[in-house]
Structure 1
Amino acid sequence: MESTVVTRLSILGHPQRLAVFRLLMRRYPDRVPAKELAQALDLKPNTLSTYVNALMQAGLITQERVGTSLRYAVHMEAAGETVDYLLRDCCRGRPEICSPLASLAAGGDSPITDRKFNVLFICTGNSARSIFAESILRKEAGDRFVAYSAGTKPRSELNPFALDVLEQKGHDVSVLNAKNLSVFQGADAPDFDFVFTVCNQAANEECPAWTGQSVSAHWGMPDPVKAEGSDAEKSLAFQQCYGALLNRIKAFTVLPIASLDRIALQRAIDDIAQSKEGASA
């Protein structure tokens, strides 16, 4: 195992290979097309190919062919083994340094307490998907969750089709507005228990490290703002997006959060992103 860990650390010691691995970790459990990886990291296709081949040989990522597209994902078991090995080895005699991390790597035996949780949904424009998610969670379980949303590059106004859908579903749109992610990075910002990215572009970007131990996940959704055609066709795209997010959030709100350890909770949230009920049509 030691030689494997040494190889993996050597591979990750290269800044751009590490950047590929980090992006795939943020997008987990998605399988990300090679073209999207190259665009997000500003890499030439042949350069990206060299990096992903090295990561695959080290067992850190996996590859899948879908049609003519190659898609990549983090090999989470291998990543977990590597971190676990490091913690168990380096922490001998120094539990005051490593014990919190070692506890997580060993399985996370401390469940999140039963209380009202702060949840942040992030997308790029904060004009549709993250606004949908914020509104749905507030309506479905506002007694147990405080919902927020923000954008990495927010638009000045909310999308009118999104507002129409929310009004049709009985949401109060007067409390909504597009916000920059920086709003939640100050000293007075709430501590978030859960942080979800709901668009691929936002997940591909470097998001801030949140204080505390937020559980984060990627719930990527197609952008309804990019829908083309008649107003009816565009409206349908927003309705489908709303419906998919509604299914995911309903599944999230019924999780027994207080009785799950952090590792089990993370897996459950990742599974929601992959469920057919939460898929966008």
Structure 2
Amino acid sequence: MEMMSPDQLTTLGHPQRLALFRLLMRRYPDRVPAGELALAMGVKASTMSTYLAALLRCGLVRQDRSGTSLLYSIQMASVRQMFDFLFIDCCRGRPELCLSTSPGADPMSDRIYNVLFICVGNSARSIFAESILRSLGGGRFNAYSAGTRPYSELNPFAMQVLDDKRHDTSMLRSKNVSEFAGPDAPRMDFVFTVCDQAANEECPAWEGQPISGHWGMPDPVKAEGTDAQKALAFQQAYGALSRRIQAFTALSIDNLDRVALQGAVDEIGRSETGAPA
């Protein structure tokens, strides 16, 4: 096993650099512009450049160029190497000493899984995902959705798409994510953010260590133009989520360990989302 760089722990010992690292982990596998990161953290562009440079130097973050833009993402191989060192070396060759003993750390079993989809408004994308999983899940999943700052009403264009696709919308409502954080809330097995803004926000740690994934996509609510053009944006968002959820429901969840399952969820997040349904 390769040694971990001591600079990595030193770099993450700074509160704001740690916050940036955690933000990029929530956005993984996205590649994010520095300006968006600075806006999400409320810091100046020059300050963000300094934080990113430190994470780049110690190998925890990678930089890619797209045209004239520089994009940043987690260097997952290096992160895994760091965690391997901490578990194997610092846990005296017995990583089980350092692993959580909470029920959520147990291997997946043959049962019904609870899945939560989060976006900011909980009026379109997360509502789509909840409805699609209920239809495609074959009784293997309980699907939920919530928003970090939910709207009071569901988007009418979104509701029209769901009606056209013959989903049962009678139980749908806009909900705050706090409803799923209390002691009486169902314990989640999977938590997915389906918009970048929700992933940018710091949420409380979930009980039971659910598998998490970021499936960000454009917000159809922000579409401009005629009603037909707006409706098309909602159709495209529905189609993108439908393809991802089809891939998710096809996974052999009962037969995959947490590492393999997390990798599969991340790979679904990299899938193409642009074509309409």
Q: What range is the shorter-chain TM-score in?
A: over 0.9
How do 1:76-155 residues align onto structure 2 when only pairs under 5 Å count? Answer: 76-92=76-92, 97-100=97-100, 111-155=107-151
- Secondary structure at the aligned position of 1:172 is classed as coil
- 1:219 shift after superposition: 0.2
- 1:83 shift after superposition: 1.2
Q: Which amino acid aligns with 2:5?
A: V
Q: TM-score, normalised by structure 1?
A: 0.93
The unaligned stretches of length 5 or more in structure 1 are: 102-107
Is the alpha carbon distance of 1:43 and 1:76 closer, same or farther for their aligned partners in structure 2, counting shifts above 3 Å? same
Aligned Cα RMSD in Å?
1.7
- Secondary structure at the aligned position of 1:63 is classed as strand
The unaligned stretches of length 5 or more in structure 2 are: none
2:192 is the counterpart of 1:196: yes
2:176 is the counterpart of 1:180: yes
Query: Which whole-Å CA distance do the structure 2 matches of 1:116 and 1:279 have between them?
Result: 31
Is the alpha carbon distance of 1:95 and 1:166 closer, same or farther for their aligned partners in structure 2, counting shifts above 3 Å? closer
- 1:19 shift after superposition: 1.0
- 1:111 shift after superposition: 3.9
- Deviations for 1:108-130, whole angstroms, at most 9, x for unmatched residues? 9x641111100000000000000
Instruction: Select 2:157's aligned residue among 158, 161, 171.
Output: 161
- Secondary structure at the aligned position of 1:64 is classed as strand
2:249 is the counterpart of 1:260: no
Size of the aligned set, in residue pairs, is 272
- 1:97 shift after superposition: 3.5
Q: TM-score, normalised by structure 2?
A: 0.94
- Secondary structure at the aligned position of 2:154 is classed as coil
Query: Which whole-Å CA distance do the structure 2 matches of 1:208 and 1:99 have between them?
Result: 20
Q: Retained in 1: the 8 A contact 2:87–2:94?
A: no
Which residue matches 2:64?
64
- Deviations for 1:144-202, whole angstroms, at most 9, x for unmatched residues? 10000000000000000000000000011111000000101111000000000000000
| Divergent runs of 4+, >6 A | 93-96
- 1:93 shift after superposition: 8.0
- Secondary structure at the aligned position of 2:5 is classed as helix
Q: Which amino acid aligns with 1:91?
A: C
Greater share of helix: 1
